[in-house]
Amino acid sequence: MRELLEYLARLLVEEPEKVNVEQFDEDDGTVVLELSVASDDYGRIIGKGGRTANALRTVVKAAAVKEQRRVLVDIVD
């Protein structure tokens, strides 16, 4: 899931080398993925009205269902 999010984010931004995804495992089994990108690329990742961010979350959650995991995607500064 982490690799999928990182791959998709790199395709969307102008500075793919600055894409970073950190993974944290919660006590209840939830996986938290924190996505950070270059400051100029946040608009590209979030998209109009958050559509791109929601699409990224949907794709990653679909991959998580395959592994029977719960995942949260956070976009951090």
Q: Where are the domains of the chain?
A: 2-75
- At 77 the pLDDT is 82
- At 57 the pLDDT is 96
Q: What is the CATH number of domain 2-75?
A: 3.30.300.20
The amino acid sitting at 66 is: K
DSSP single-letter state for residue 39:
G
- At 33 the pLDDT is 97
Residues 6 or more apart whose Cβ sits within 8 Å of residue 55: 47
- The answer to whether the predicted template modeling score (pTM) of the entire model surpasses 0.95 is no
Angstrom CA distances, 28 to 13, 32, 38, 63, 67, stand at 32, 11, 31, 19, 15
- At 36 the pLDDT is 96
Residue 20 has pLDDT above 90, yes or no: yes
pLDDT in tens, 43-64: 999 999 999 999 999 999 999 9
For range 22-30, the mean pLDDT: 94
Both tokens assigned to 3: 């690799």
